[in-house]
A and B are shown apart, each in its own frame.
Chain A
Amino acid sequence: DARVTQTPRHKVTEMGQEVTMRCQPILGHNTVFWYRQTMMQGLELLAYFRNRAPLDDSGMPKDRFSAEMPDATLATLKIQPSEPRDSAVYFCASGLARQGTDTQYFGPGTRLTVL
Chain B
Amino acid sequence: AQSVAQPEDQVNVAEGNPLTVKCTYSVSGNPYLFWYVQYPNRGLQFLLKYITGDNLVKGSYGFEAEFNKSQTSFHLKKPSALVSDSALYFCAVRDILTGGGNKLTFGTGTQLKVEL
Contacts and interface: CB of A to CB of B under 8 A. Distances in A.
A12 B34 CA distance: 33
Contacts, number: 56
Contacts of A109: 41-43
Contacts of B109: 42-43
Interface residues of A, number: 23
B69 interface: no
A103 interface: yes
Contacts of B98: 56, 58
A48 B100 CA distance: 10
Interface in A47-65: 48, 50, 55-56, 58
Given A103-B34, A104-B46, A105-B46, A56 B97 contact: yes
A97 B99 CA distance: 15
Interface string B22-58: 0000000000101010000111111001011000000
Interface of B: 32, 34, 36, 41-46, 49, 51-52, 90, 94, 97-104, 106, 108-109
